[in-house]
Amino acid sequence: DADVTQTPRNRITKTGKRIMLECSQTKGHDRMYWYRQDPGLGLRLIYYSFDVKDINKGEISDGYSVSRQAQAKFSLSLESAIPNQTALYFCATSDDGTGINDYTFGSGTRLTVV
Protein backbone atom coordinates (compact mmCIF):
# COMPACT_ATOMS: atom_id res chain seq x y z
CA ASP A 1 0.00 0.00 0.00
CA ALA A 2 1.14 3.53 -0.74
CA ASP A 3 2.33 5.68 2.16
CA VAL A 4 0.06 8.53 1.04
CA THR A 5 -3.20 7.56 -0.64
CA GLN A 6 -5.46 9.94 -2.48
CA THR A 7 -9.00 9.24 -3.60
CA PRO A 8 -10.40 9.52 -6.16
CA ARG A 9 -7.65 9.31 -8.80
CA ASN A 10 -9.77 11.09 -11.36
CA ARG A 11 -13.01 13.02 -11.06
CA ILE A 12 -15.20 14.96 -13.43
CA THR A 13 -17.77 17.20 -11.81
CA LYS A 14 -20.15 19.95 -12.85
CA THR A 15 -19.87 23.62 -12.03
CA GLY A 16 -21.51 24.44 -8.72
CA LYS A 17 -21.21 20.95 -7.26
CA ARG A 18 -19.57 20.24 -3.92
CA ILE A 19 -16.71 17.81 -4.07
CA MET A 20 -14.33 16.32 -1.53
CA LEU A 21 -10.87 14.94 -2.21
CA GLU A 22 -9.52 12.61 0.42
CA CYS A 23 -6.04 11.84 1.61
CA SER A 24 -4.81 9.27 4.10
CA GLN A 25 -1.29 8.44 5.21
CA THR A 26 0.58 5.70 7.00
CA LYS A 27 3.79 7.70 7.50
CA GLY A 28 2.88 8.79 11.00
CA HIS A 29 3.66 12.39 10.05
CA ASP A 30 1.97 15.27 11.80
CA ARG A 31 2.29 17.66 8.89
CA MET A 32 -0.03 17.33 5.90
CA TYR A 33 -0.43 19.54 2.85
CA TRP A 34 -2.66 20.05 -0.15
CA TYR A 35 -1.09 21.37 -3.34
CA ARG A 36 -2.53 22.22 -6.71
CA GLN A 37 -0.70 21.86 -10.02
CA ASP A 38 -1.62 23.71 -13.17
CA PRO A 39 0.24 23.25 -16.47
CA GLY A 40 3.43 25.30 -16.53
CA LEU A 41 3.03 26.59 -12.98
CA GLY A 42 4.52 23.89 -10.78
CA LEU A 43 2.77 23.14 -7.49
CA ARG A 44 1.16 25.76 -5.29
CA LEU A 45 0.15 25.31 -1.67
CA ILE A 46 -3.58 25.43 -0.85
CA TYR A 47 -3.72 24.47 2.85
CA TYR A 48 -1.50 22.80 5.39
CA SER A 49 -1.96 21.32 8.83
CA PHE A 50 0.40 20.62 11.71
CA ASP A 51 -2.07 18.46 13.59
CA VAL A 52 -5.80 17.93 13.93
CA LYS A 53 -6.25 21.26 15.72
CA ASP A 54 -4.04 23.34 13.48
CA ILE A 55 -5.10 24.35 9.96
CA ASN A 56 -3.39 27.04 7.94
CA LYS A 57 -4.05 28.71 4.63
CA GLY A 58 -1.50 28.49 1.86
CA GLU A 59 -1.07 30.88 -1.03
CA ILE A 60 -4.22 29.91 -2.97
CA SER A 61 -6.84 28.92 -0.39
CA ASP A 62 -9.81 30.88 -1.81
CA GLY A 63 -12.60 28.56 -2.91
CA TYR A 64 -11.28 25.63 -0.86
CA SER A 65 -11.72 24.30 2.65
CA VAL A 66 -10.06 21.44 4.50
CA SER A 67 -10.73 19.10 7.37
CA ARG A 68 -8.15 17.19 9.42
CA GLN A 69 -10.27 14.37 10.75
CA ALA A 70 -7.37 12.51 12.34
CA GLN A 71 -3.60 12.53 12.23
CA ALA A 72 -3.77 10.24 9.22
CA LYS A 73 -6.57 11.94 7.28
CA PHE A 74 -6.73 15.31 5.59
CA SER A 75 -9.51 16.13 3.13
CA LEU A 76 -9.90 19.01 0.70
CA SER A 77 -13.33 20.34 -0.27
CA LEU A 78 -14.51 22.53 -3.08
CA GLU A 79 -17.82 23.91 -1.83
CA SER A 80 -18.99 25.08 -5.25
CA ALA A 81 -16.66 23.91 -7.98
CA ILE A 82 -15.79 26.22 -10.86
CA PRO A 83 -13.98 25.44 -14.13
CA ASN A 84 -10.76 27.22 -13.16
CA GLN A 85 -10.37 24.73 -10.33
CA THR A 86 -9.65 22.10 -12.95
CA ALA A 87 -6.19 20.91 -11.99
CA LEU A 88 -4.09 18.10 -10.57
CA TYR A 89 -4.26 18.02 -6.77
CA PHE A 90 -1.58 16.52 -4.55
CA CYS A 91 -1.62 15.63 -0.92
CA ALA A 92 1.71 15.41 0.91
CA THR A 93 3.05 14.68 4.36
CA SER A 94 6.28 15.60 6.03
CA ASP A 95 8.26 15.15 9.19
CA ASP A 96 9.36 18.18 11.18
CA GLY A 97 12.16 19.04 8.80
CA THR A 98 14.93 18.67 11.34
CA GLY A 99 15.78 15.07 10.60
CA ILE A 100 15.95 13.50 7.19
CA ASN A 101 13.23 15.84 5.98
CA ASP A 102 10.95 13.12 4.74
CA TYR A 103 8.42 14.62 2.33
CA THR A 104 6.05 12.18 0.64
CA PHE A 105 3.47 12.92 -2.05
CA GLY A 106 0.38 11.01 -3.03
CA SER A 107 -0.24 10.03 -6.64
CA GLY A 108 -2.55 12.95 -7.27
CA THR A 109 -6.22 13.50 -8.07
CA ARG A 110 -7.01 14.85 -11.51
CA LEU A 111 -10.12 17.02 -11.18
CA THR A 112 -12.05 18.37 -14.14
CA VAL A 113 -14.86 20.86 -13.59
CA VAL A 114 -17.18 21.19 -16.58
Residues engaged in binding other proteins (CB under 8 A): 31, 33, 35, 37, 40-45, 48, 50, 56, 58-59, 88, 90, 92, 94-98, 101, 103-108, 110
Min. distance of Cβ 107 from other proteins in angstroms?
4
Q: Which is nearer to other proteins, 31 or 68 (CB)?
A: 31
Min. distance of Cβ 74 from other proteins in angstroms?
14
Q: Which is nearer to other proteins, 40 or 70 (CB)?
A: 40
79: left (phi over 0), alpha (psi -120 to 50) or beta: alpha
Sign of CA dihedral 71, 92, 104, 93: negative
Give the residue among 64, 66, 46, 40 at the shortest CA–CA distance from 55. 66
Min. distance of Cβ 16 from other proteins in angstroms?
26
Other C-beta atoms within 10 Å of 46: how many?
23
